[in-house]
Structure 1
Amino acid sequence: MTSSPTARALLLGVAATLVQLTMVIAFAWPATQIEPRDVPLVVAGPQSAAVAQQLEQRQPGAFDIEERADEAAARQALADREAYGAIVTTPAGPRVIVASAASPLVSQQLTQVAQQMAGVKTVPVQDVVAADADDPRGSGFGAMALPLVMSGIAGAVLLTLLIPSVPGRLTGTITFAVLGGLATAGLAQGWLSILPGSYLAVSGVMALTILAVTGTVAGIAAAIGRAGIGLGALTFLLLGNPLSAATSAPELLPEPWGMIGQLLPPGAAVSLLRSVAFFDGANAGGPLTVLLAWAAAALALFGIGALRSRRPQEAEPADRREPALAS
């Protein structure tokens, strides 16, 4: 029995409301849960053990503290992306060393913690790996994640709806990844000036991100049908983007969500871009592996889709073919 237009309209209204609530929760909830959780931090200097103990007493579980021999070793830990910041004890009081390019928000929080510990309004702060001078708060960098995801999903939708053949969709995906990576990197480094580093390296990260997002969504659609568009889009948009930690850091999100975010293309792309643009590729292995795995999965899905599209033709029985005319 078919439902009436009024009933269908009511059901669509309920469904739209549920989608809206889900999107609000997905985007707003992580932002309300931002606080340090095992944030890698280095302490150095003659009173480093006392500082570590004091930090743990003030904020249990907030920092994953490692002691280093001296200030030089602390600086190296920041340059290698092994820590977000360092507190160096001196006879004149604590000094804070940060790498704001890794996370401006963590740098601010660390400075506030050092001020509270020292009981003064200001403490000396040195930024050894700073964010781009034209984007000191990292807001422009953080704003890049959502457009990359949405444009990647949009590309997958257009390719799926407009290109009938699976090989054609794969060709379009690779073309989009290469040209989109080159163009987006040029925009970010040129006109917007929010990303330093090698243009080829940055464009490579952008291209790999587009391939992972667009390829996966279009690949799922090729493998299981157009319903795959919704599955892939919701995964990347409602999970990947809010959990990417583009404006914060994975360690500021509740677990396991911070870790999950880094296993999805948006979070891995953000981490890899930070490493390539600001830290000469330090600690890039993890996020690079994640993006390569998603890209490989996308290619495998296209392969499944190609086999799926051929199967009906190959399975057509001989007795259903057009019989030859009798002479």
Structure 2
Amino acid sequence: MKSPIAARALILGAAATLLQLVMVIAFAWPATHIAPRDVPLVVAGPQSAAVAQQLERHQPGAFDIEERADEAAARQALTDREAYGAIVTTPAGPRVIVASAASPLISQQLTQVAQQLAGVKAVPVQDVVTADADDPRGAGFGAMALPLIMSGIAGAVLLTFLIPSLAWRLVGAVTFAVLGGLATAALAQGWLSILPGDYLAVSGVMALAILAVTGTVAGLAAAIGRAGIGLGALTFLLVGNPLSAATSAPELLPQPWGMIGQLLPPGAAVSLLRSVAFFDGANAGGPLTVLLVWAAAALALFGIGARRARGPQEAQAADHREPALAS
């Protein structure tokens, strides 16, 4: 009697250890491999070609360099989210233009690279799209991603276990997304004061992100059973969150993982939120499409779950009809 229980306890202990190792790797590995990889960068000015060559020799493959006609064009590239920064050459030396709201970490790295190229301790830096004054390093912004994912998963678990009707589960997921988006945006822009931008637009992004996570996890549970909760939770928590680039940028993560992270709700939500909150929606089409696809997938999964639930009911109804016909 005790032997099977003891074996089960040992197996569960080993499985928990394996899960712990996977979680440590998932969160620590991307953080320890942060480095620029084809980071979009603009160079402008009379010596822009020479600067581009120097950058390529100094850090091969680190930057995806595009030359622009002048400083005004370089600034426009940053405000349109086509580049993270620019180096403008002048007779007095290089000048750096950054958009720290896109990635404070890249802004710091670009400034350091420009100093090394110029051989001076300080290079003039201008920030054309700044991070929030109460969150200059983006720490608060980056810290929002994990709670949104975990609360989304928790909401899906509660709906799955406590609401037997699939239709009302879907209603609950949408309600949670709308109210959660409104409340979280109010908290981020009000008390925490870490996000600028239009309140309704920011809350809409958060609502769509919550729906993508909660709806997909609850939809997986409806479509394939409660194992779907584990599948969805592990995907979004162990893959989506560390690859979301919430505290860095997709181009700083090892590839193709940086790109994969942008195809999952956490990474798409972070990119869309940056665009809406800091850049007036510039370059928001890609991440918005990703979140809409995940939301549509959640609805499709609920549809599969409804069909799956009707199967046994129709079979049972048929069994009841057959004796009546026989009599």
TM bucket normalised to smaller:
over 0.9
Q: State the shift of 1:322 in Å.
A: 10
Q: Say whether residues 1:9 and 2:9 are aligned partners.
A: yes
Give 1:38's aligned amino acid.
Answer: D
Q: Deviations over 1:272-320 (max 9, x none)?
A: 0000000000000000000000000000101111111121111125454
What is the aligned partner in structure 1 of residue 144 from structure 2? 144
Q: For 1:68 and 1:12, how far apart are their aligned partners in 2?
A: 59
Q: For 2:10 and 2:299, how far apart are their aligned partners in 1?
A: 40
What is the aligned partner in structure 2 of residue 35 from structure 1? 35
Q: State the shift of 1:4 in Å.
A: 1.4
Q: Deviations over 1:84-142 (max 9, x none)?
A: 00000001100000000000000000000000011111100000000000000000000
Q: State the shift of 1:25 in Å.
A: 0.2
What is the aligned partner in structure 1 of residue 242 from structure 2? 242
What is the aligned partner in structure 2 of residue 52 from structure 1? 52
Q: Say whether residues 1:63 and 2:63 are aligned partners.
A: yes
Q: State the shift of 1:230 in Å.
A: 0.0
Q: How many residue pairs are counted as aligned between the two chains? A: 324
Q: Deviations over 1:206-252 (max 9, x none)?
A: 00000000000000000010000000000000000000000000000
What is the aligned partner in structure 2 of residue 88 from structure 1? 88
Q: State the shift of 1:37 in Å.
A: 0.2
Note the residue ranges of structure 1 that are not aligned, 5 or more in a row.
none
Q: For 2:39 and 2:321, how far apart are their aligned partners in 1?
A: 67
Give 2:212's aligned amino acid.
Answer: A
Structure 1 residues 113 and 18 mapped into 2: Cα distance closer, same or farther (>3 Å)? same
What is the aligned partner in structure 1 of residue 79 from structure 2? 79
| Aligned-CA RMSD value | 1.4
Structure 1 residues 55 and 224 mapped into 2: Cα distance closer, same or farther (>3 Å)? same
Q: Deviations over 1:54-79 (max 9, x none)?
A: 00000000000000000000000000
Give 1:36's aligned amino acid.
Answer: P
Structure 1 residues 287 and 2 mapped into 2: Cα distance closer, same or farther (>3 Å)? farther
SS at match of 1:299: helix
Q: For 1:11 and 1:322, how far apart are their aligned partners in 2?
A: 47
Q: Say whether residues 1:156 and 2:159 are aligned partners.
A: no
What is the aligned partner in structure 1 of residue 295 from structure 2? 295
What is the aligned partner in structure 2 of residue 214 from structure 1? 214
What is the aligned partner in structure 2 of residue 124 from structure 1? 124
Q: For 1:322 and 1:214, how far apart are their aligned partners in 2?
A: 41
Give 1:251's aligned amino acid.
Answer: E
Tell me the TM-score normalised to structure 1 length.
0.97
Q: State the shift of 1:21 in Å.
A: 0.1
Q: For 2:169 and 2:125, how far apart are their aligned partners in 1?
A: 51
Give 2:86's aligned amino acid.
Answer: A
Q: State the shift of 1:168 in Å.
A: 1.1
SS at match of 1:61: coil
What is the aligned partner in structure 2 of residue 256 from structure 1? 256
Structure 1 residues 44 and 318 mapped into 2: Cα distance closer, same or farther (>3 Å)? closer
Give 1:67's aligned amino acid.
Answer: E
What is the aligned partner in structure 1 of residue 227 from structure 2? 227
What is the aligned partner in structure 1 of residue 111 from structure 2? 111
Q: Among all aligned residue pairs of Structure 1 and Structure 2, give the percentage whose two residues are the same amino acid.
A: 88
SS at match of 1:307: helix
SS at match of 1:41: strand
SS at match of 1:245: coil
What is the aligned partner in structure 1 of residue 196 from structure 2? 196
Give 1:229's aligned amino acid.
Answer: I
Tell me the TM-score normalised to structure 2 length.
0.97
Structure 1 residues 318 and 58 mapped into 2: Cα distance closer, same or farther (>3 Å)? closer
Give 2:79's aligned amino acid.
Answer: A
Q: For 1:323 and 1:253, how far apart are their aligned partners in 2?
A: 65
